[in-house]
Amino acid sequence: MLYFPAMANSLNISRISIGADDLGPGLWWAWIYCTWFTPTVFGSNAEQTGVAVFSDPSWLLSLATCAATLFAMPKLLEKRKFGSRQSIIAACLVAAGTLALGLSVEANEPAAYLAFGAIATGMGSGVLWALWGKRFEKRGRDMMALVPLSALVAAGCVMLALLLPGAAALSFAAALPLGSCALLAKRKPPNKQSSAPLDEIVSLDKKKGRSVLIRLCAATLAACSVSSFAQATAYGTPNLGLLPSGAVFGMFLVFCASAPPLFMRRPFNFVKPTRYLLFLEAIALALLIYGNYPALSVAYFLATAVSVCFDFLLVMYLVAFIEKGFFSSTLAFCLSEGFVQVGWLIGNSAGIAVSRNAYAYEHLNAAYLVLLCLLFLLLVFVVEQQGNAEKMAATTANESAVKTLAERYSLSKRETEICALLGQGRSIPFISDSLFLAKSTVETHVKHVYAKLDVHSRQELLSLLERARTTR
């Protein structure tokens, strides 16, 4: 087990622990990019069409099946218990589907084999990812290492798949979900201790948390749709190395964006990398408008990298809210990846349809201009959502600091409740109305809080809370 210092500011996270089983989600992501973003499965077909991932409609069918499974899994996990047996079945489905896709393409088998492979991979991968989300329930601070570690694992697997010969590469890709399943079974059940502070004192606004989750997922869907459309309309790009190299470059960017919070005392800022990613996406669209071969190649490379980045970074950003109890890791995992899959589905479908329609293809530059405007609106929307998210994080940071002081100075439940409201800047009349207490009763509780904490004013209390937020 390895330990890393992590951010200990408003999110109140102090240390990261990493075990071998943490490679599991990375192997799941690695399966996606080895199967669909390299010539591993569609190798011979890719040599004819020039692009591996868009060469077969089974890609779209697998995306649709996986997204539908991911959206259904949170409810299914509430009603039924999924254990090792279900995870093994899911992993075997993905492995069998991967082999069916690869062998069907090589042997020119009927479309039914491709349909089976697409549905099996989509359904199995959706279930497996949902079970990883369920297993991370109440994991707490250790989740901060999930994304940078997974990006490294996925990048390494993609490069290894490119080095292996055809049959070995296909077998390697099929083995990845089995490895992820084995690590999922190895992981010990989570501790029953809740990571959400002051659950019994300050109720978390779950409805608001889910609203932020849906909005961020919707923004990611739009961004993935634009990047996938750019990929699909650069369909004539003949260099097969652009797709996997773009994916690996995207994983490198993910690691650079998500690793610093593990070693620096600051939270992960979703808006900062998103601004740069949307800028890269705008460059890709501008290059597509320019239209010559070098420009198309660079556009294709950038669009692939951006698409990969959004797939990883959304999960990284949602970790902070999972830890604070705004929504479960199962819901966050399923919705975030589900919206990414739908974004890829929409963008690829629209791009392929436009590329095969002569009239639409003639007006493609107009579509690129519209998408450039959409990217600007998307950036404004994401910045607004960051403001809402920071307010939520600040609220939970105050709750965590109050919990620390309550345990350290033995505050009663009512005193802790009033201390939390004082920390939010609430006045005594407001506290009196909110808690249905007499003003004199609230004043008495405030005196007791000040005496126990050895402070003499509201400012000293706020300073004490600030120190509690930045220390363990």
Listed range (149-158, 198-207, 439-448) with the worst mean pLDDT: 198-207
Average pLDDT, integer, range 424-445: 87
Q: Report the range of poorest mean pLDDT among 43-57, 86-100, 320-334, 396-410.
A: 43-57
- State residue 1's pLDDT score: 43
The pLDDT assigned to 7 comes to 34
pLDDT digits (tens, 9 = 90+) for 437-461: 898 999 999 999 999 999 988 888 8
| Per-residue pLDDT, 194 | 41
- The pLDDT of residue 204: 42
pLDDT digits (tens, 9 = 90+) for 221-260: 999 999 988 888 875 555 567 888 999 999 999 998 888 8
The pLDDT value recorded for residue 2 is 43
Q: 17 by DSSP, 3-state: which? A: strand
Q: Name every residue whose Cβ is closer than 8 Å to that of residue 103 and which is 6 or more positions away in sequence.
A: 109, 113, 170
| pLDDT at residue 29, as a whole number | 94
pLDDT band at 470; cut points 50, 70, 90: low
pLDDT of residue 225: 92
**In this predicted structure, what is the pLDDT of residue 323?**
66
Is the pLDDT at 66 greater than 90? The verdict is yes
In the structure encoding, which two tokens stand for residue 277, read together? 């990613």
Kindly state the average pLDDT of the residues 250-275: 78
Looking at residue 85, its pLDDT comes to: 86
Q: Could you tell me which residue, 110 or 79, shows the higher pLDDT? A: 79
Computed on alpha carbons and rounded to an integer, the radius of gyration of the chain in Å comes to: 25
Examine the pLDDT at 394 and tell me if it is beyond 80: no
Confidence at 198, pLDDT banded by 50, 70, 90: very low
Across 78-105, average pLDDT? 87
Q: Residue 5: its pLDDT value, please?
A: 39
Task: Tell me the pLDDT tens digit for each residue of 349-381.
Answer: 888 888 778 777 788 888 899 999 988 888 888
Contact 348, 254 (CB under 8 A): no
Q: What is the pLDDT of residue 33?
A: 92
pLDDT at 171: 93
Q: Is the pLDDT of residue 99 over 80?
A: yes
Give the model's confidence band at 138: pLDDT under 50 very low, under 70 low, under 90 confident, else very high: low
**pLDDT for the residue numbered 52:** 46
Residue that is written with structure tokens 């992590």 in the block: 6
**Of the candidates 176, 185, 180, which has an alpha carbon nearest to the alpha carbon of residue 98?**
176
Q: Can you tell me which residue has the tokens 């599991």?
A: 24
More confident site: 1 or 89: 89
CB atoms within 10 A of CB 462: 15
| pLDDT of the residue at 401 | 80
In this prediction, residue 109 has a pLDDT band, given cuts at 50, 70 and 90, of low
Range 265-272 average pLDDT: 66
Q: What is the DSSP letter of 21?
A: G
Residue 92: burial class (beta carbons within 10 Å; 0-12, 13-18, 19+):
middle
- How many Å apart are CA 327 and CA 210, to the nearest integer? 6
Residue 25 to residue 44: CA distance in whole angstroms: 29
